[in-house]
Amino acid sequence: MDLQPIAMKKKTVLIVILVLAVAAIAAVAFVWNKPHETVDNKKGTAVTAEMLANAFIQNEQQANATYLNQVLEVTGTAEEVSTNQDGKTVILLKADDPLSGVQCTMSESQNVKQGDQLTIKGFCNGYTTVVLLSDCVMLK
């Protein structure tokens, strides 16, 4: 009985496994080191804070289909300004519903006060009781 073909099959299987392992490690390294996406060079969809909050309040599923993971340029009035646990400025833009609004977590510290009229660009991350925007930058 010739054992050489069995040894060749084992060698081939081992080589295939090694190639697949190297490819998987390369893919993980690529994704891990991929630069963080920012809104800086992206065109956003212009919307008011009232329109955006109302869209989510009235039909969250449709609003998610329209706005989720999109870059938005939201105009509104600063209702509340705070700092989160990461030291980032968080601005709540006023909406028609007193229990809602648009919460913008800024990428850089901002000097904003309550009542300021603002336009903020950021990624829409969905809705809790407020619409959430992240990685935001001030436009005006």
Same domain for 57 and 6?
no
Question: What is this structure's pTM?
Answer: 0.74
**Length of the chain as a residue count:** 140
- Hey, is 116 helix, strand or coil? coil
Assign residue 105 the CATH number of its domain.
Answer: 2.40.50.140
109 and 132 co-located in one domain: yes
Helix (H, G, I), strand (E, B) or coil at 112: coil
Residue 107, in any domain of the structure:
yes
Cα(127)–Cα(105) distance, integer angstroms: 14
Mean pLDDT of the chain: 90
Q: Is 1 helix (H, G, I), strand (E, B) or coil?
A: coil
pLDDT higher at 25 or 74? 74
| Same-domain status, 70 and 120 | yes
Calculated CA dihedral for residues 8, 11, 12, 16, nearest 10 degrees: 170
Residue 71: inside a domain = yes
Segment 2-61, tens digit of pLDDT: 556 766 778 888 888 888 888 888 888 777 777 767 788 899 999 999 999 999 999 999
On whether both 50 and 104 belong to a single domain, the answer is yes
> Does 55 lie in the same domain as 12?
no
Number of domains in the chain: 2
- Residue 4: its pLDDT value, please? 64
Backbone angles phi, psi at 128, to 5 degrees: -115, -100
Is the domain of 71 the same as that of 118? yes
Shared domain for 71 and 100, answered yes or no, is yes
* pLDDT > 90: percent of the chain: 64
Higher model confidence: residue 27 or residue 104? Answer: 104
Same domain, 18 and 50: no
pLDDT at 9: 78
- The encoded tokens of residue 48 equal 């008011």
More confident residue, 71 or 33: 71
